[in-house]
Amino acid sequence: MIYLDNAATTNVFPEVAEVIASVLRDSFGNPSSLYSLGIESKKIVDRSRAQIARAMGCDPSEVYFTSCGTESNNLAILGAARSRKAWGNKVIVSGIEHPSVQNTAASLANEGFEVVVIPPEEDGNLSIDGFLNEVDKRTVLVTCMRVNNETGALTDTALLAKKVKEINRRTAFHCDAVQSFMKHTTALDGSIDSMSVSGHKIHGPKGIGVLYLRKGFSLEKTQFGGGQEKGMRSGTENVAYIAGMAKAVELIGPVRKNLEHVGICRNILWDSIRNLPEVRLNSPESASPYILNISVLGYRSETMLHFLESEGVFVSSGSACSKGEKSHTLEAMCLDDDRVDSALRFSLSAETTEDDVKTAAEALKKGIKTLERK
């Protein structure tokens, strides 16, 4: 099997599964309990928090565990906007965000916020000036992803955050780093106020996320209960998955080395198919090498996807959440219907090999020869 759908989810490293099983079996205490079993669980959570903080480049006190990237985005966006509504009501969001950001921002519109959407440029990239032109003294929040999950479009969110703060230092800046964590660095040097990451995109389990909250950053909580995670995210900690996520962070390997390897694989894949007359590149040239989005004109995404599956190659037609619906990112780029309907996303991981992408390219060529054009 050649798995090239790593933006949807990744295989869980075997060592991660072992750590999870051992915590579930042997360290089942509640981290809030005062006796030794509880203290042991708390130690696991604290150790994991420190490990993840090191990888994110922040202080452990700035790391909050949640149940997933979606929850982290909801908490950051709702919490930041609501806590600033006394002095402003404008929220700025990119037009290519994941639904967990897009729909959360849309829900703020129902609460009376003015939500301004910044469309991507023709090539799929976001323009920093596009955001900055909209920031004013009423802007409570700007939210922008580091790497787009469908095209791999990369935005320098640290720079964007810095420039937003130069215009309005009270504006909160949130970054969805679910597709970039452990793949591309993002400097947490004071301008980014909150940042979401998720365990299952980095060979950890599904159902665990982290929200970075800059020390001193104020936001309203959205969940009420026993006060875990300093009251920001009540609910008994998922100790096993927290330990599993920390293990994944430990094992995934250095960002730069992985990026180099993935870049080589991405280029082999693209170079093997770029001259086919049916193939168009949808990812920006400057995109993250972890994601290559193309269209194979004349072949519906689903048809090609299932052909590739029959050849043992797993890719997607867009984001995993959209389940075959048209990609809102490609539509936001104003690509025509033929291009959107024939889109395929290859998403790589540090485990992808050169042979994997060569085989995938051959399977695609075979699909073009074998399948009937629509």
Letters for 311-350 (x = contact with ligand PLP by CB under 6 A, - = none) are ---------x------------------------------
Alpha carbon separation from 145 to 125, 177, 332, 373 (Å, rounded): 11, 6, 15, 36
Query: Distance between CA atoms of 339 and 316, rounded to whole angstroms?
Result: 15
The question of whether 265 is a catalytic residue gets the answer no
Q: How many residues bind ligand PLP (CB under 6 A)?
A: 15
- Least spacing, CB of residue 320 vs ligand PLP, in Å: 6
Letters for 237-266 (x = contact with ligand PLP by CB under 6 A, - = none) are ------------------------------
Q: Which stretch binds ligand PLP (CB under 6 A): 36-44, 65-73, 186-194, 336-344?
A: 65-73
Give every CB contact of residue 109 below 8 A, 6+ residues apart in sequence.
115
Binding to ligand PLP by residue 96, rule CB under 6 A? no
Give ∠ CA 190-82-224 in degrees, rounded to 5.
95
- Least spacing, CB of residue 74 vs ligand PLP, in Å: 9
Query: Distance between CA atoms of 181 and 194, rounded to whole angstroms?
Result: 13
The candidate with the shortest Cα–Cα distance to 292, out of 307, 279, 278, is 279
Binding to ligand PLP by residue 41, rule CB under 6 A? no
Binding to ligand PLP by residue 143, rule CB under 6 A? no
- Least spacing, CB of residue 147 vs ligand PLP, in Å: 7
Q: Which stretch binds ligand PLP (CB under 6 A): 123-131, 171-179, 186-194, 261-269?
A: 171-179
- Least spacing, CB of residue 245 vs ligand PLP, in Å: 11
Binding to ligand PLP by residue 149, rule CB under 6 A? yes
Binding to ligand PLP by residue 179, rule CB under 6 A? yes
First to last CA, the chain: 27
The candidate with the shortest Cα–Cα distance to 45, out of 241, 321, 234, is 241
The candidate with the shortest Cα–Cα distance to 74, out of 34, 105, 53, is 105
Question: Which tokens sit at 209?
Answer: 């996320």
Residues catalogued as catalytic: 321
